[in-house]
Amino acid sequence: MTSWHLCVVVVVLTVQENRGQNWLPVPQVVNVVTEWKEQRISVTWADGLLSPNFTEKLLFDIEILQDEWNHVVHHEKLKSGDHSWSWTSPIPLECTSHSVRVRSRHQQLISQWSIPHTIPGNDISSPKTIQVYPKDRVVHVGSITVFCCIVTEGHERIGGADMNVTRISNRSYEIVKHNLTPSPSAGYNLKCTDTSTASGGTTFWVGYSPNDQELVCETDLVSVECHWSRPRNTELFGRRETQYTLNGRKCKDLNHGKQLCKCSISLDQGEKYRNLTARNPLGSVELMDREDLNRRIRMQAPLNMTISEVHARNVTIQWNWKVEAYKTLPLMCRVQLNHSDHKGPYNNTGLSLLLLTDLQPDRSYRLQVCCGTDQHFWEWGSWSSVKFFQTKVDRPDALDIWIQRTSVHKTLIMWKCLSANDSHGQIRGYNVTLESSMGSKKQWFNVSRDKLSFLLELGDSSEDHVITVTALNSAGSSPPSTIGVPRLPTDNACSEVSGSNGSFDLSWPASANASCGYIVDWRPTHSWHNGTVEWVKVPAGITRSRIVSGNFKAGVRYSLSIYTCSQGAPELMEKKEGYVKEMVPAQSVQKLQINPSGPDVLLHWDRIPLESQQGFVRGYFVYKYDTSSRLISIENITDPDATTHTLRNLPHGSYKFIVKAYTSAGEGLGATASIKLDPESYGLIVVTLIALGSMACLFFFITIICYQKRKWMKEKIYPEIPKPKLPEWSALPVWQTLDLIQCPYDRIIIVESEEGLLEQWGGEGERHYTPDTDSSGPHELRCYDPVMSGGSQRPRTLVWSAPSSQDSSGSLGSRPTEVTYTGVQTPPTPAVSSGLPSPQDALSSEDYRPQISATFPMQPQSAPSNLPLLQVCLEYQPHSQHSLSPETGSLGGSLGNPTYVNSFTFLLNNTASEKSQEEDPSSSSLARFNNRHQQPFYCNPTYHSTHPTDG
């Protein structure tokens, strides 16, 4: 039986040995370790049963299977013959089940896979609530993080639009987050829901791992203090923030703002190295400092500091040290006064007492002290507590004075206000002394502390004067400041200067008289008073300066003067005017007026006031517009002193002119004026002037000619009119014109012929005279009797025919001109009625008679057609304006004016009149006619006579 068993074993071994040469054994998985938080799987295995004759090294393949469907998610060929392997899953291991299997490999031979070792996930059974993994995870900024949701089977997961969701098992869904940014202190929340409205979620944080560097440690001989730099914040807070340890001791006094760690370490413990570890959930970093701390001593602050002695310009301070080791160290200290004014360093062993000098009198100070080691100096220690003190009062410094001559007998002395550093106490007042250079007169004046100038009366201007000014405070008076009174300048020439960057850059030629340098003063040109004058003193040898003042304003003209400084009075070298910055004029030109002169227009304006120019006026622009505001032309006047401008040969129409002054900064406001040029206006004026001139000249020449020809013109135009003369009648010596005469008959026709006077009477008491057949035509004038007893009146007509042309002495036709005289006679008395002259006698007379133009009616039928008519009226008739032309045989036209002379009427002299009376027999007939007249009537007789030609 025993031999049988032995034979079976030998056969089996022989078979295995023969097979081992053709196949490999399957590895055996010995152990699988799961790290859930890190999502890591660690596997170890064994080779399996091998023949002792197999001595070669095997290689292995490993695979990771996922979910219930055993999907291969990872396959790896191991290059070495290790029997262990680790793998980090991209998804949390809780999301689904993972299986691991291994096989061996040798040359062309590959063994079978080992039996899978499964790590079950939480999705193998339906959870009561939705599960989200991983929980409370901290991940790196910018990383890709995978989350998963496990839901109840049969319910689908519902995700947001911003989620990339993939199903990895029946109950599990994968969610991927890309490019994560730093999270807030509370982290990010991830929420997952399904179709049953159930929800679940998790919170995660995104940050950086520590990156601290540059560890440096120092000591105050009591403890060690280390600090380092942190280029980047981890963005993690609370229990996830970075934790620091120094040489294994946790840093409790951690200052996050300064990355400072302070630990109590004794130097005699032999710790010569400092090791700092920084750690957070995303990683850790270690820093080391190897320097000797005896060379890195940073001292503590001085204690119990006191101020023992205070003077005007120095003070003594002292303090104590808390660390006894400082008293034996070589130290150096510095003092801080008023925050920025440092004094020192002061060196001494165990230094604890200092004397501070060069302080300002009557000034308050704020004082602090800090110290460091003089040997192997590392860094200044901490500042002490603050102490305050005030120095005592001292005499003021000398005043900076300047002078301005205001007139021949007056001068203004000025000085600058002393600063707190120069006054050395409160100023109580000023003393001003005026004395002549010969010492003949000296005056003292006290000036209150609120004044910075004083006006002095010089008196005798022929003497030189010297002025001295001192300042006073409780400690005494300042050193005297002396200046000579300069003479008034005789040359007021001034040049232009341009400012830049709010200042003036001045330069001037050197002067041999400038023993103590130069003085430059400035003030506003248009207005200045005591407070506006400023000055600066330039040392000798320097001939240029930049003038800067906080009172400079753009657009204000300043006058700058340069003086030489010597032992005597200052002497004026140059005067300049300028602007720190020129601006456009603030006002327009003043009082713009337009004066037209024909087609030319003269513009006149006043200059802009100096305070409104705001720059040097370089000229003027004249804009010309038409009625539609269209710009016609622009004229540039480059003369800055111009106040007039003429625009010539303007066409008629309406114009608007705008005048603008301009500076280097541009043109300012414009003054506007308008005018309308009529086309006839200037022509009418010219024509009127020419006509008036011509008329004046003509009148002048006419006057001269008339004066020279005055006698001839008087004879031709206005001859002398003879005075009226009455004939000497025996019966009635007086013949009056314009009187009413009595006509005793109703109708009288008197016809004068060669045979004599023919009388005819018609009607009651009517007598007819046979007319002359040679008469040129009858003339008839109706007259009316006075009112009869019955109230009626009859017209009387006196017709008188001129003699025939054969009778040269009595015919009317012998002359082409008729003269009509109308006389108004008063009725004669009966005693003299028979003595009236006949009408022919009256007509032959040359005496003046008023003229009347009578209306001549048609001749009566009983009268011949060629009889001349005599005007006969019953009563006085007003003189009328009617005239009859001589061509029709009528009487010449006569006006109502008694002085009117017809153009074809001749005035007869007395001789012709007398001759006419002798030759005309009708006068006797008319007298007989008047004597027979029984009943008086009134008429205006008109006498027609034809005068015989002379000779």
Give CA angle at 398 (397, 401), nearest 5°. Answer: 140
* Chain segment 510-545, per-residue pLDDT in tens: 998 888 899 999 999 887 665 688 999 999 989 999
Residues sharing a CB contact under 8 Å with residue 248, sequence separation 6 or more, in sequence order: 275
> What's the rounded Cα separation, in Å, for the pair 311 and 393?
9
More confident residue, 664 or 790: 664
Residues sharing a CB contact under 8 Å with residue 292, sequence separation 6 or more, in sequence order: 272
Q: Which two tokens stand for residue 148?
A: 């998963």
Measured between alpha carbons, how far is residue 949 from residues 815, 908, 912, 946 in Å? Answer: 8, 12, 10, 9
> What's the rounded Cα separation, in Å, for the pair 582 and 615?
5
Q: Are 267 and 226 in contact (CB under 8 A)?
A: no
Of 135, 157, 131, nearest to 203 by C-alpha is: 135
Range scoring the smallest mean pLDDT among 109-113, 333-337, 717-721: 717-721
> What's the rounded Cα separation, in Å, for the pair 425 and 384?
29
| pLDDT above 70 for 372 | yes
| pLDDT above 70 for 642 | yes
Give CA angle at 17 (16, 18), nearest 5°. Answer: 90
- Burial class from Cβ neighbours inside 10 Å (0-12, 13-18, 19+) for residue 3 reads exposed
Percent with pLDDT over 90 in the chain: 30
Coil, strand or helix at 147: strand
Q: Which two tokens stand for residue 741?
A: 């005469």
Q: Which two tokens stand for residue 570?
A: 């200052």
DSSP state of 359: P
Average pLDDT, the chain: 75
| pLDDT above 50 for 936 | no
| pLDDT above 60 for 562 | yes
Q: Which two tokens stand for residue 513?
A: 């008289």
More confident residue, 401 or 824: 401
* Chain segment 906-915, per-residue pLDDT in tens: 444 444 444 4
More confident residue, 677 or 522: 522
* 740 residue type, one letter: L
Q: Would you say the C-alpha torsion 403, 406, 407, 410 has a positive or negative sign? A: negative
How long, in residues, is the chain? Answer: 951
* Chain segment 78-135, per-residue pLDDT in tens: 887 778 899 999 889 888 899 999 998 888 888 899 999 998 988 887 777 888 899 8
Mean pLDDT of 163-192: 86
Q: Which two tokens stand for residue 201?
A: 């979620």
* Chain segment 306-333, per-residue pLDDT in tens: 998 999 999 999 999 999 889 999 999 9
Question: Containing H/E element for 15?
Answer: helix 2-20
pLDDT of residue 682: 59
Mean pLDDT of 878-904: 42
pLDDT of residue 370: 93
* Chain segment 807-820, per-residue pLDDT in tens: 433 333 333 434 44
Measured between alpha carbons, how far is residue 35 from residues 42, 43, 64, 119, 354 in Å? Answer: 8, 12, 15, 11, 69
Of 288, 318, 160, 106, nearest to 212 by C-alpha is: 288
Q: Which of 381-413 are b and which e, b meaning 16 or more Cβ less than 10 Å from the residue's Cβ?
A: beebeeeeeebbbbbbbbbbbbbbbeeeeebbb
More confident residue, 384 or 293: 384
| pLDDT above 60 for 898 | no
Instruction: Report phi then psi at 929, rounded to 5.
Output: -65, -40
* Chain segment 403-417, per-residue pLDDT in tens: 988 888 889 999 999
| pLDDT above 80 for 77 | yes
DSSP state of 607: P
More confident residue, 171 or 520: 520
> What's the rounded Cα separation, in Å, for the pair 528 and 544?
25
Of 611, 942, 545, nearest to 781 by C-alpha is: 942
Beta-strand (E) ranges in 556-610? 558-565, 571-579, 590-597, 600-606
List 577's β-bridge partners, or say none.
496, 559
pLDDT of residue 25: 82
Find out whether the peptide bond into 134 is cis, omega within 30 degrees of 0: yes
Coil, strand or helix at 907: coil
| pLDDT above 80 for 550 | yes
Range scoring the smallest mean pLDDT among 237-246, 338-347, 621-630: 338-347
| pLDDT above 80 for 648 | yes
Q: CB 575: neighbour CB atoms within 10 A?
A: 16
Q: CB 501: neighbour CB atoms within 10 A?
A: 10
List 425's β-bridge partners, or say none.
none
List 606's β-bridge partners, or say none.
590
**3-state SS string for 176-209:** EECCCCCCCCCCEEEEEEECCCCEEEEEEEEECC
Q: CB 303: neighbour CB atoms within 10 A?
A: 12
| pLDDT above 50 for 897 | no
> What's the rounded Cα separation, in Å, for the pair 314 and 335?
13
Range scoring the smallest mean pLDDT among 104-113, 532-541, 564-573, 873-882: 873-882
pLDDT of residue 677: 80
Of 70, 69, 50, nearest to 111 by C-alpha is: 50
Q: Are 748 and 872 in contact (CB under 8 A)?
A: yes
pLDDT of residue 866: 42
Helix axes 710-717, 681-708, angle to 10 degrees: 90
Q: Starting from the edge strand earliest in sequence, which strands make up the sheet with 600-606, in order?
A: 590-597, 600-606, 644-647
More confident residue, 749 or 790: 749
In this prediction the pTM is 0.47
Q: Would you say the C-alpha torsion 375, 378, 384, 389 has a positive or negative sign? A: positive
pLDDT of residue 723: 74
Percent with pLDDT over 70 in the chain: 68
pLDDT of residue 164: 75
CA atoms within 13 A on the CB side of 221: 18
Q: Which two tokens stand for residue 395?
A: 């005499």
159-163, 671-675, 707-711 — which one is most confidently predicted on average?
671-675
